[in-house]
Amino acid sequence: MQSLLDPAILFFVFGVLAGAVRSNLEIPPAISKFLSLYLLMALGMKGGFALSQTGLDAQVFASLGAAMAMAFIVPALGYQLLKRRLSGFDAAAIAASYGSVSAVTFVTATQVLESQGLAAPGHMTVAMVLMESPAIVMAVLLASAIRHNAAAPASVTVGSGGQAVLTAGGGSGSGAAVRRILHESFTDGTHLLLLGSLAVGYLSGEAGKTMMQPFTGDLFKGMLAFFLLDMGLLVARHFAAARSQSPVLIVYAVLGPVVHAGIALALAQLLSLPVADTALLMVLSASASYIVVPAVLRHAIPEANPSLYFGLSLGITFPLNILLGIPLYVQVARWAAG
């Protein structure tokens, strides 16, 4: 419950309330973009610092491999389900939110483990960082493909009966189209900043962490609060659209994380992961991003509705995980370990 009184979360609630009463409070677009870029850079560097300090062995590689597998499985399953109910852009954005992870949920889970006498393994912090990116890449790829298909020129050919047949452009140029999509996705500025910051943090190591502490540590909480205030205002503006959506989305936000955690448990059992690794893998798989993904998708997929992918992850999944999910997943991990 204490995590729900976190100042950053309370600023989000304040932003929602300010937007709901139609206050003229607003964050200038340039400041909003800066906050997004700052969070991506700081999170990437923090992950790189952690990666540089983590020793690697077979067990660590197994845990990181399981995390990477879940980072692809969750958004792929989510997109296949949601695209039947939503536009491709919204389906990709929500799938990315649930395929990525929540750092606050992860930190809360490590504290729960420690209170129960289980040391939280440091390499699972690296797993958290690794799980942030694949879903974003998949979402940008899907959005690029949707835009490409919508913009594909049509051509008219003559059929065997003399009728004119309208066909979508592409054909022999499909290979070039795929290359364009991949280039656009992997060179997207916001996502590239995250990956580049991860590399900088890893290469600079402990010395870099000490030098960047004021930037990646001291400033981070305040910038996050400012960012969530902006996101709260944005979500409030889209409440009407969110209320008009299918109740299936609410069911997905509640039950989807439980299914994801179940898949993670089965994978952890297959790889014989320790209890703490299993519990944190379940928590990460069941969490949903409300920092990195909104920061990226607001600019990378502007066609998607922020009230859906941000509102579902923070408004429903986040509090459920904090209040019910984490204790449940830790207990199940203990039970599965015998």
Delineate the domains of the chain, giving CATH numbers in brackets.
2-336 (1.20.1530.20)
What was the pLDDT predicted at 188?
Answer: 61
**Is 182 a residue whose pLDDT tops 60?**
no
Mean pLDDT of the chain: 80
Return the SS3 of 84: coil
**Is 51 a residue whose pLDDT tops 80?**
no
**Is 183 a residue whose pLDDT tops 70?**
no
Tell me what the mean pLDDT of segment 276-287 comes to: 95
**Separation of CA 198 from chain center:** 16
What was the pLDDT predicted at 155?
Answer: 45
Q: How far apart are CA 79 and CA 141, in angstroms?
A: 12
| Tokens at 112, concatenated | 């729960």
Tell me what the mean pLDDT of segment 306-332 comes to: 83
CA distances from 53 to 134, 205, 214 (A): 23, 7, 19
Task: Answer whether 235's CB lies under 8 Å from 76's CB.
Answer: no
Q: How confident is the model at residue 167 (pLDDT cuts 50, 70, 90)?
A: very low
User: Is 244 or 22 the better-scoring residue by pLDDT?
Assistant: 22
Tell me what the mean pLDDT of segment 247-267 comes to: 94
User: Is 304 or 154 the better-scoring residue by pLDDT?
Assistant: 304
Tell me what the mean pLDDT of segment 23-34 comes to: 89
| Tokens at 319, concatenated | 């509090």
What was the pLDDT predicted at 93?
Answer: 92
Q: How far apart are CA 105 and CA 287, in angstroms?
A: 7
What was the pLDDT predicted at 39?
Answer: 79
**Separation of CA 204 from chain center:** 26
- Report the share of the chain in percent with pLDDT over 90: 28
Tell me what the mean pLDDT of segment 188-217 comes to: 84
User: Is 144 or 189 the better-scoring residue by pLDDT?
Assistant: 144
What was the pLDDT predicted at 233?
Answer: 85
Instruction: Look up residue 234 and give its amino acid.
Output: L
What was the pLDDT predicted at 84?
Answer: 87
User: Is 110 or 4 the better-scoring residue by pLDDT?
Assistant: 110
Q: Residue 287: what are its φ and ψ, rounded to 5°?
A: -80, 175
Question: pTM here?
Answer: 0.68
Torsion sign across C-alpha atoms 54, 59, 65, 70: negative
What was the pLDDT predicted at 141?
Answer: 84
Q: How far apart are CA 262 and CA 205, in angstroms?
A: 35
User: Is 178 or 99 the better-scoring residue by pLDDT?
Assistant: 99
User: Is 245 or 142 the better-scoring residue by pLDDT?
Assistant: 142
Task: Answer whether 99's CB lies under 8 Å from 75's CB.
Answer: yes
Residues 112-137: tens digit of each pLDDT: 787 788 876 767 877 887 887 788 88
